[in-house]
Structure 1
Amino acid sequence: MTFAYLPVDFKFVALSTGKLQFSAFDSGQPRQEFAQAFAFISALTQQDANTAIIDIRLIHDQRKDLAAIPRRGRLFDIWPEIIAWQALGYGCFVAINAMDGIGREIANVTTIRCQAIDLDNLSAQQNYERATQFNPAPSFAVQSSPGRWHVYWITTPHNDRDKFTLLQRKLRAVFDSDRTIIDPSRVLRLPGTLHLKEKPHLITCWSLAGYGMPIDPGFLEIALAGVNVIDGSGGRHPLGEPSLSAPSKQWASEALRHADPNAMDRGEWISFSSAWKQAAWLHGDPDGIRDEWLQWCAQYTIGNGNDVAENLKAWASVRNTEIGWNSLLNKLPSLKASFHLGRPAQQSPNTPPMPHEQQQSIPVPTGEILTDSEQREWFKGCYFVTSRGQILTRDGFMNATQFNGAYGGKKFIVDSVGKSTDEPWKAATRSTLWQIQKVHHTRFLPTRPHGELIIDALGRLGINTYKPASIDARPGDISPFLNHLCAMIPDENDRNIILDYCAHNIKFPGFKIPWAPLIQSTEGIGKNLFKLIMQHGLGENYVHQPKTKELLESGTKFNAWMREKLFIIADEIKTDDKRDLVETLKPIISEERSEIQGKGADQAMEDNFANWLFFSNHKDAIPISKNGRRYAVFFSALQSLDDLIRRGMNDSYFKHLFDWIKADGAAYVVYWLQQRAIERGAIPMRAPDTTSKPEALQEGQNDIAKTIQRMIDDEQNGFRHGWANSVAVERDWTKYRPGRTTPRQQDIGKAIADLGYRKVDRAGRAYFQDHPEKRAVLWFKGDRNVKPSDYPVDQGYGDPTHQPSNVVPFRPTNG
């Protein structure tokens, strides 16, 4: 046998009970030993370790948040890298069977070359001694850490994976070994490397009686023929297998209290979590079981700490297992001792079941003092939201005072020695036995299930707070509503735009429509009709009407009222010169994420699925442009008190209308809108044109545009025959707007463009009639193909080559 790299400080040690063993001279801190790894690979592969191809995985011994690192090659090629990764805390594991180099699954196993058991429980020493006396004799042993052993039987090569699994299951039954070592793709620790989970420990190997004599697996089958296990590929069971279940919910919770995720490597964490999920599955609802496990995972503090996204990914991957309660007992000696001593207090069989009626928001366990298990029921459905510093309950958000008032009246045990508190907030957030699920933020996603936990791009955990409202919708006569709407909006196409908008909101809550209707009319036409219908169709809590003064004065700076809303109705809108409000409203109307800020709180980007409906008594309420896409404007036919009187809309009419809508009418209209033939997304993505748009464009002109229009109407210099002149606006501004500041040229240009003019070019020179010093930017409105030289002729300035100028010609002087 040739050793490629044999460090000079290694020596052979002959053993009286085995063929070979390697050790290093004592140098204090343990170091890796290449000779141990070389001997192991030779014995495992039955090949020259200089040329044998092996598959290893480097897995961090303390930080389960770090991904495993796979490597494939010859031992002496990858040994330096093994040493380097071990310096960073990674343990080294080797595939015990030959792999194809493509993947790490059972399907990638090409050759079965051994059977192996992992002895890691309280009886490991006795089981190891029994295994050394077994017939057929095992080939060699590995000490992975103090008190833990791996025992190998080298077999003649074969590729029957099912046979391997069946023999593994029988061996583990005989020797009480780790239940997870059953599939042929398994990896175990490589001798010669260090176990770094706690105090560094050199993993060693030595020969046993069967060393050098591979056995036919048939001999193992004969020896284990009397061991009864379920045949098949591992005997995996779907979640909820009674034979793998914990005796009770209390015992499943007790298992978590005996386990420390910081003391587990990644493989142990996955194995424990799989066993616990199976053991707990029959003892609660899936979300509650998951949340309890996530709370246990949150104790992990090594490295980058707890990775919620990784936790949820691992949890979702466990769909069936072969391990469960008995595996937890074997993994946790303290749990096993407690179980056999019957330590955890069991719930009295006479205790009434926990109430779960939907109308009862808080369960009422009997007794004055609540254990941690009872607290799980008492605080069920509660989440601490760190970004708000509040607890989300089934009745909404609560601060400490509110939470203590709603959930108080009991004493809560908060530590293992029985200390109690009468403050629910303290028990729910600071108990050392159990705490409610903690999330970073909330989401408001009407298309996702209520209470769904969602990971954002930064790995932070959020919870969906949207809960569908219970809607009362019934068929009935809706003629009072339709007659009123026809009086308000006589044009059928306009009415259909409004009805489609309302129906789409009711049928598909949470679908963001990037535009909003604006209905203008005289006062007192029954605008609240729409508010009552939308509240009835979406849920009163999801419809909001902000105070007009607050909206106009503060804009949307303090807009916490927008949070978790589906529909917002703004009445008495008139922006006048508050153009900044119009700009601020644009992204709020069209974007699904917006900045939300309450007074005394920081801004935060939150979900914004609210759609808007505006009402106003003023036709110039919100200025729109020709190409505007956010507002569909409807001028009602009801523009005065006389219009109302002519249609019989007196006090008696409105009393009858609102009595009807509040009694059954809203339910009738909502049902009718729910049946309206409109599919999800089948609505314009920009504001549709209405019969009122041309007039709205004119009414919505800003102060500058209106002033320029007056100059055009008066045919001032620079504004004749389809032309508009930017510097002429400056010339005449104080005449038309005395005492008002002259606007900037860029604002003048925008106003001229809003009037429908197109920019031609800058004038070739300054014209005294327009402005004695400045060259104007020229604009034109019409079908003619004009050029700047046409401008002075159209204005009546005469021949542009003989116009007076403010430039004094140079005249030579005598002398």
Structure 2
Amino acid sequence: MADILSSGVPVKPVAQNYHQAFAHIAALTGTDPNTTIVNFRCIHDAIKNAPAHSYDGTLPQLWKTFLDYQARGHGVFLNVNQLDGNGRELANVQFIRAHVVDLDNLSAAQNFERAAAWFPSPSFAVQTSPSKYHCYWPVTPYRDNDRYTLIQRKLRQLFDGDKSVIDPTRMLRLAGTLHLKDTSAPHLVQCWSLAGHGYQTPPEALEGALASVNVIDGVGGRHELGEPSLAAPSLDWIRFALKLLDPNDLDRGDWISFSAAVKQAGWTLTDPDTLFHIWSDWCARYNTIGHDGKPRVNDPGENLKQWLSFRNTEVGWPSIERRVPSLLAYRTLATPPAQTALAQPAVTTATLPTPPMPAPPELDCSGEMLTHMEQQQWFKGCVLIGPENRIIGPRGIRYDVGSFNASYGGKRFIIDALGKVTDEAWKAATRSTLWTVPKVDGTCFRPDLPTGEITGDGLGRSYLNTYVPARIETLAGDPTPFLRHLALVLPNADDQRILIEFLAHNARYPGHKIPWAPVIQSVEGVGKNVFKHVIRHVIDKQYFYQPKAKQLNDSGSKFNGWMDSKLFFLVDEIKVDERRDMVETLKPFVTETELEIEGKGANQRMADTPSNWMFFSNHKDAIPINANARRFAIFFSPIQTLDDLRSRGMDDTYFNSLYAWLGDHQNGAHRMGLRIVANYLLTYPIERGALPTRAPITSSTAEALIESRGWLETMIAEAVDDQRNGFRAGWINTAALAALLREQRKDVKPRTIGDAIRALGYRSVGQAGRGYFQDDVVFPNRRGRLWNIDPLANVANYGRSQSYE
């Protein structure tokens, strides 16, 4: 807006709309209208011999000029293609930038619907006057006037367009200006986007789509009354067509054209007087208010004059069907519907939103019969997953043929250009020749993308995003009961903060992968279910899953279809086995955003896994960690015995009161407390991505490292604590360790030894310069590998540090 004002353009220039003009030029040229030079022409709309005025310049430069000419009755036009600025002849065409079809005849509205639904899709439409349209296809720029003309001729043939709009120097009306042919009722020329908006169509794509169109030259043949090819099926069909069309909806030109079609269509079906009276009864319904506020009524004398002037016509029954498209659908019936009084459809006027490019108004789908344009509204958000042969609806529900017909049926759907009708929603949505729902190769689960967005991969396959945001019930209130329970379970303030931030980030940013998981350990009966109920509520039960620990260990790593389309997993009673295989199973689950998913009886596939994890256990060694661990944040509750519970007042009365406040299904299902905690978490001040990428250090981390030690690490740590030879002053000598293992009758691989020492925080610093009897009396000359807590330690100092030298 600042740029417009700075150019001196008034905010409300008469009835014109600068924003519409701006949008028109931007969509046509694909460039900034503030700097794009366009060829314009001001032509008087009423006085045909008035001189025209041409201008080359930008819209901001010329807008005041256009307003001045409009005030004097001139229409404003722009050249569809780029000229060189030296004239308006074919030789001055610098390059082709758009193809266009001008729809201005009796069936313009129906032809516009066909053009808008065609592929390649047009980019935008311009309405020049009521029921008159221009459809534009901006193209990849090219230079070939003859090629342009041939494509234009085929477009006009296919969509019954204005036969004169074929040359590349053609001028068409500029959106945002006034159409002034009827000075008593100026019409604002308006534009809006169509399906191809923002896309430049290669001319080769248009040529391919138009390959079967045979160009017919000339203005079309006129036929004497009684032409068989223009006759209606019966006189009843003419009566029915007149019932469906309100003469008050037609301007004078449309009324004359339609009337001529009626005379031609019925000429051979009855005598002239009967046909005239049928038509006259229809004309008698004309009673409206003109643009000047004066009443307009039927004029029988004018009617007779016009009727007698129809001696030969180009139009007949086919043009009536195009004007009243529902006739094609009703033709599927054996006879016209009963000739009872028909309720006239309400005429609604939609106000187009302010550009840059407005969207067309939604269609009314309240009738029994739906055109293909109305079907696009009726089936909005539905997408066919081809390999599954299922349709996914806008709420993420999958439908097979039967359930889709049941859910979206109850209408009759027009499915081809001849008006064929079906009552099967699935057939209309997937097999119509006029329009079908989008079709994709698979689905993805991406909370970071809009619901229903279609993405692709490097192989050209398409995927529908099936994530639908959950509507979480919240309630403003005091979350103290929940926070007090958290403080009892984890009294350390930093631990509480870490867990609250974890829960709040999951609540506020569902699907944002957190590459670590909390592990809460305590005695049984500490109320860990409180956290489970809160998470399930704030994530939504559809996206929450609680796999069994045994399921993870036995088959969870192979048959893991349960992981598909979930946001949060909570595992209770986690405990790894002695081999610690489950830890390796869990690592990719916790960190990876894509995994191979395989359900029983289903093929493997890569799937999105934006889910986060949390674990509960009664065992301190449930999930072992080491000093470099980054996937698990360990929380040991001080409540480790039943006496610990009792000393804190956590008895049946406490828990009954807490769960009653939460209001889960076993406690009235009012969810008051759950809604209050959800509100607390959803409004908690934390930014997206604010959590660390490694598991944070907790008050339990040091103890967890000790609890996580295997027998070898424990044995080495005890040797260090006992200040044995070879284990003193921050040193460990593998020669001394070998002697200890021999003493304990243990056999360990060298690599395992290195892993165990490294897990205790030591670093390899080199080989000992000599062997020492004190380290190994059996092999006193063995030179062991030396490790130290200081990675820069000097191996030469080892003997002195052990008091060997």
TM-score normalised per structure 2: 0.54
The aligned residue for residue 385 of structure 2 is 385
Whether the 8 Å CA contact 2:101–2:136 is kept in 1: the answer is no
Please list, as runs of the form range in 1=range in 2, the aligned pairs for 1:748-759 lying within 5 A after superposition: 748-759=753-764
Tell me how far apart the structure 2 counterparts of residues 393 and 402 of structure 1 sit (CA, whole Å): 14
**Change in 2 beyond 3 A, CA 1:687/1:186:** closer
Tell me how far apart the structure 2 counterparts of residues 346 and 625 of structure 1 sit (CA, whole Å): 76
Q: How far apart are residue 533 of structure 1 and its match?
A: 1.1
Tell me how far apart the structure 2 counterparts of residues 120 and 542 of structure 1 sit (CA, whole Å): 49
Q: How far apart are residue 689 of structure 1 and its match?
A: 1.8
Q: How far apart are residue 550 of structure 1 and its match?
A: 0.9
Whether the 8 Å CA contact 1:519–1:634 is kept in 2: the answer is yes
Please list, as runs of the form range in 1=range in 2, the aligned pairs for 1:184-199 lying within 5 A after superposition: 189=144
Structure 2 residue 322 is matched with structure 1 residue 339: yes
- Partner secondary structure for residue 748 of structure 1: helix
The aligned residue for residue 497 of structure 1 is 498
Whether the 8 Å CA contact 2:102–2:135 is kept in 1: the answer is no
Deviations 1:662-700 (A, max 9, x none): 231111112222333333333333322221111111112
Whether the 8 Å CA contact 1:109–1:185 is kept in 2: the answer is no
The aligned residue for residue 761 of structure 1 is 766
The aligned residue for residue 440 of structure 1 is 441
Structure 2 residue 707 is matched with structure 1 residue 702: no
Tell me how far apart the structure 1 counterparts of residues 639 and 653 of structure 2 sit (CA, whole Å): 18
Q: How far apart are residue 495 of structure 1 and its match?
A: 0.9
The aligned residue for residue 788 of structure 1 is 795
Tell me how far apart the structure 1 counterparts of residues 389 and 189 of structure 2 sit (CA, whole Å): 43
Please list, as runs of the form range in 1=range in 2, the aligned pairs for 1:142-153 lying within 5 A after superposition: none
Tell me how far apart the structure 1 counterparts of residues 558 and 684 of structure 2 sit (CA, whole Å): 37
Please list, as runs of the form range in 1=range in 2, the aligned pairs for 1:689-768 lying within 5 A after superposition: 689-713=697-721, 718-726=726-734, 728-733=736-741, 736=744, 742-765=747-770
The number of residue pairs the alignment matches comes to 526
Whether the 8 Å CA contact 2:514–2:612 is kept in 1: the answer is yes
Tell me how far apart the structure 1 counterparts of residues 765 and 139 of structure 2 sit (CA, whole Å): 80
**Change in 2 beyond 3 A, CA 1:766/1:107:** farther
**Change in 2 beyond 3 A, CA 1:196/1:379:** closer
- Partner secondary structure for residue 753 of structure 1: helix
**Change in 2 beyond 3 A, CA 1:335/1:544:** farther
Tell me how far apart the structure 2 counterparts of residues 732 and 656 of structure 1 sit (CA, whole Å): 56
**Change in 2 beyond 3 A, CA 1:376/1:794:** same
- Matched residue type, 1:778: L
Structure 2 residue 474 is matched with structure 1 residue 473: yes
Whether the 8 Å CA contact 1:382–1:392 is kept in 2: the answer is yes
- Matched residue type, 1:385: I
Structure 2 residue 575 is matched with structure 1 residue 570: no
Whether the 8 Å CA contact 1:722–1:781 is kept in 2: the answer is yes
Structure 2 residue 217 is matched with structure 1 residue 264: no
**Change in 2 beyond 3 A, CA 1:767/1:262:** farther
Answer with 405-414 or 603-612: which moved more. 405-414
Select 2:192's aligned residue among 232, 239, 245. Answer: 239
Whether the 8 Å CA contact 2:627–2:759 is kept in 1: the answer is yes
Tell me how far apart the structure 2 counterparts of residues 106 and 465 of structure 1 sit (CA, whole Å): 42
**Change in 2 beyond 3 A, CA 1:261/1:181:** closer
Deviations 1:146-174 (A, max 9, x none): xxxxxxxxxxxxxxxxxxxxxxx9xx99x
Q: How far apart are residue 756 of structure 1 and its match?
A: 1.6
Q: How far apart are residue 467 of structure 1 and its match?
A: 1.8
- Partner secondary structure for residue 85 of structure 2: strand
Tell me how far apart the structure 2 counterparts of residues 184 and 444 of structure 1 sit (CA, whole Å): 35
Q: How far apart are residue 640 of structure 1 and its match?
A: 1.3
Deviations 1:399-418 (A, max 9, x none): 64774685498798897699
Tell me how far apart the structure 1 counterparts of residues 712 and 586 of structure 2 sit (CA, whole Å): 22
- Partner secondary structure for residue 500 of structure 1: helix
Structure 2: gaps of 5 or more residues:
1-55, 58-78, 94-98, 105-125, 155-169, 171-178, 195-204, 215-315, 332-336, 347-363, 664-669
Whether the 8 Å CA contact 2:621–2:704 is kept in 1: the answer is yes
- Partner secondary structure for residue 623 of structure 1: coil
**Change in 2 beyond 3 A, CA 1:189/1:592:** same
Select 1:109's aligned residue among 56, 61, 84. Answer: 84
TM-score normalised per structure 1: 0.54
Q: How far apart are residue 519 of structure 1 and its match?
A: 1.3
Select 2:676's aligned residue among 662, 668, 674. Answer: 668
- Partner secondary structure for residue 643 of structure 1: helix
Q: How far apart are residue 428 of structure 1 and its match?
A: 4.7
- Partner secondary structure for residue 569 of structure 2: strand
Tell me how far apart the structure 2 counterparts of residues 182 and 436 of structure 1 sit (CA, whole Å): 22
Whether the 8 Å CA contact 1:489–1:636 is kept in 2: the answer is yes
Q: How far apart are residue 337 of structure 1 and its match?
A: 8.6
Tell me how far apart the structure 2 counterparts of residues 122 and 365 of structure 1 sit (CA, whole Å): 27
The aligned residue for residue 554 of structure 2 is 553
Please list, as runs of the form range in 1=range in 2, the aligned pairs for 1:254-293 lying within 5 A after superposition: 262-264=208-210
**Change in 2 beyond 3 A, CA 1:185/1:654:** closer
- C-alpha RMSD of matched pairs (Å): 5.4
- Partner secondary structure for residue 537 of structure 2: helix
Whether the 8 Å CA contact 1:112–1:184 is kept in 2: the answer is no
Deviations 1:194-222 (A, max 9, x none): 989999xxxxxxxxxxxxxxxxx9xxxxx
- Partner secondary structure for residue 678 of structure 1: coil
- Partner secondary structure for residue 574 of structure 1: coil
The aligned residue for residue 689 of structure 2 is 681
Structure 2 residue 612 is matched with structure 1 residue 628: no
The aligned residue for residue 360 of structure 1 is none
Whether the 8 Å CA contact 1:707–1:736 is kept in 2: the answer is no
- Matched residue type, 1:788: V
Whether the 8 Å CA contact 1:109–1:184 is kept in 2: the answer is no
Please list, as runs of the form range in 1=range in 2, the aligned pairs for 1:20-169 lying within 5 A after superposition: 109-114=84-89
